[in-house]
Amino acid sequence: MRRRPSIAGLGGLGATALVLFACQGQGAFNAIQTKLSEIADQQTQILTRIDQLETKISNMPAAPAPGGKQAGPQGPQPGKPDPAATYKVAVSPTDANKGPADALVTLVEWSDFQ
């Protein structure tokens, strides 16, 4: 992504240089031209450095998940259910249910009203 000086900004600089040239003479105009050239070179260097930094940032690896843990699949943890395991839950015919009895997936909701 290259950034270029705006035309309005360059036009303003050109108008300023013209006014100064008319008032100061050729020596002052050459000094202004030299200074403008130096500024343009510095802008080019800054924009090149910004492009390098943007490339570097876009090539960085993703940040770890909050809490310092890497996101991704997790294995079994002591005291917690294994996310990769399939659990069998007994469902009696008298339990409230919805859908066909031979469904591929059964969701079981349990609550304790005390």
Total of domains in the chain: 1
pLDDT score, position 69: 59
Any domain includes 78 = no
Any domain includes 93 = no
Domain range for residue 30?
7-58
Any domain includes 99 = no
Query: CA 21 to CA 37: how far, in whole Å?
Result: 16
Any domain includes 40 = yes
Any domain includes 49 = yes
> Model-level pTM?
0.35
**Identity at 7, one-letter amino acid code:** I
Phi/psi for 44 (5° steps) reads: -60, -45
Residue spans of alpha helices (H) in the chain: 7-24, 26-58
Task: Quick: pLDDT tens for 59-103.
Answer: 888 877 666 555 555 667 777 877 778 778 787 878 888 888 788
In a 13 Å sphere around the CA of 76, the CA atoms on its Cβ side amount to 7
Query: CA 19 to CA 15: how far, in whole Å?
Result: 6
Any domain includes 64 = no
Any domain includes 102 = no
pLDDT score, position 20: 59
Any domain includes 24 = yes
